[in-house]
Amino acid sequence: MKTFFFVIDNQLLKIDSGSVWNNLESELKKQLIKYDTLIINDYQQIEYNLKKKVVSDNLKDCVVVSVGNSSFFLNVLAKLRKISLSEIPVAFILINEKTTFSTKIGVSTNPLIALKQILNTVSPTLYNLGSVHNMLTSDEQIFTDELVIGFNAYVTSIVKNSKLYSLFVQYHLPLLADFCAMTEAFINQEAFSVTTRLSEKYNFFKNAFSIRVKNLSLLPEGNSSKINNLQLEVITNLNPFSYWVIFLARKLNIFANFPFISIYSQKQIHLVINSLEFSQIDNKQLINKFYDAQLKSFSYPFWIDTDSVSITEKTNSKK
């Protein structure tokens, strides 16, 4: 019988007064599920506590379930991969959040239904993820959707750090906020140099403005060992005119044919940027940093059967 090990973000409990977790715990007790909990007060505690509880106790037949936001889950997974010699299956329950990855694989936004999807699971499902190992800092970060560096990350940062633009978003005017932020970014953003290495081939870009590394999360049927799961996009010589050309081209899926856009697909990418640039992972802003990083695609077992509930249940967002 599986032991479910719930790693809970204490910030969630403070904001939500524990009602979500109380409902989840009531359901676990009702179904006589074998489980344990770990409350995390600080992200720095994740590695130590996981090592102490999960690895030291040698819980071979367990599932680690993150309860919190997507950033918390990615931290839990990164630390679990670091300390465990085996691939312990994971699952996540997002609170008041919906991500591209969770939507793509079909995880319910209703915590109780997401728990049901976890408890109904018979065997794990492999999904592709991306990892960023920055050799300048020796840390690893995991992304489910994309890593963005440069212009688009700068625009996001401007919106999030501007009281006026945040007000636009609050009053349902996100396009106006983005337009104003893009105007500001075009004035201040400078081109930067990028070096990439893919399959022993080097590519040099002197006037890069935007980089996007996309994770193709869904594994194809059959053997996926030869499938390239990371898609690298480098945009050079960006200006307001070319930006809107790219915007329209994306809608028509023809942007790969433009000379100022370079696209590659690879399981592993070496990325070097020698200037401080804005960046974000899965829409979460990172500190400005230099990059000398290895980006890799890997698959990991998820203990969540998204098809074990009806579409009606899955889309029911009530807690």
User: pTM (2 decimals)?
Assistant: 0.86
Give the pLDDT score at 219: 60
At residue 174, the pLDDT reads 84
Walk along the chain (319 residues) in steps of 10 and give the mean pLDDT of each run.
89 73 92 91 86 70 92 93 88 91 92 95 93 82 94 90 87 86 88 92 92 80 61 89 77 71 90 93 87 92 91 67
Phi-psi label, residue 67: left if phi above 0, alpha if psi -120 to 50, beta otherwise: beta
Do the beta carbons of residue 155 and residue 235 sit within 8 Å? Answer: no
pLDDT at 89: 94
- Predicted pLDDT of residue 313: 75
Enumerate the CATH 2.60.200.40 domain ranges in the chain, comma separated: 131-300
| Measured torsion, CA atoms of residues 24, 28, 29, 34, in degrees rounded to the nearest 10 | -140
Which bin fits 289, alpha (ψ -120 to 50), beta or left (φ > 0)? beta
48 sits in the region (left: phi over 0; alpha: psi -120 to 50; else beta) called alpha
Whole-number pLDDT of residue 234:
93
What are the φ and ψ backbone dihedral angles of 90, each rounded to 5 degrees? -125, 165
The residue whose two tokens read 């893009």 is 182
If you ran DSSP here, which 8-state letter would residue 152 be given? H
Exposed, middle or buried: residue 253 (CB in 10 Å: 0-12, 13-18, 19+)?
exposed
- State the pLDDT at residue 118: 96
pLDDT of residue 57: 61
| CATH level 3 topology of 3-124+303-314 | Rossmann fold (3.40.50)
Q: How far apart are CA 128 and CA 147, in angstroms?
A: 14
Rg of the chain in Å (alpha carbons): 21
Strand, helix or coil at 51?
Answer: helix
In this structure, are residues 90 and 278 in contact, taking their beta carbons and an 8 Å threshold? Answer: no
The Cα-based distances of 133 to 129, 196, 232, 242 in angstroms read 13, 14, 16, 32
What is the number of other CB atoms lying within 10 angstroms of the CB of residue 64?
25
Closest by alpha carbon to 117, among 300, 302, 308? 308
**C-beta neighbour count of 25 within 10 angstroms:** 17
Rounded to whole angstroms, the Cα distance separating 183 from 201 reads 36
Question: Residue 239 and residue 183: Cα distance in Å, rounded?
Answer: 10
Distance CA 69, CA 182 (A): 28
Q: 131-300, which class in CATH?
A: mainly beta
List where CATH 3.40.50.10330 sits in the chain.
3-124+303-314
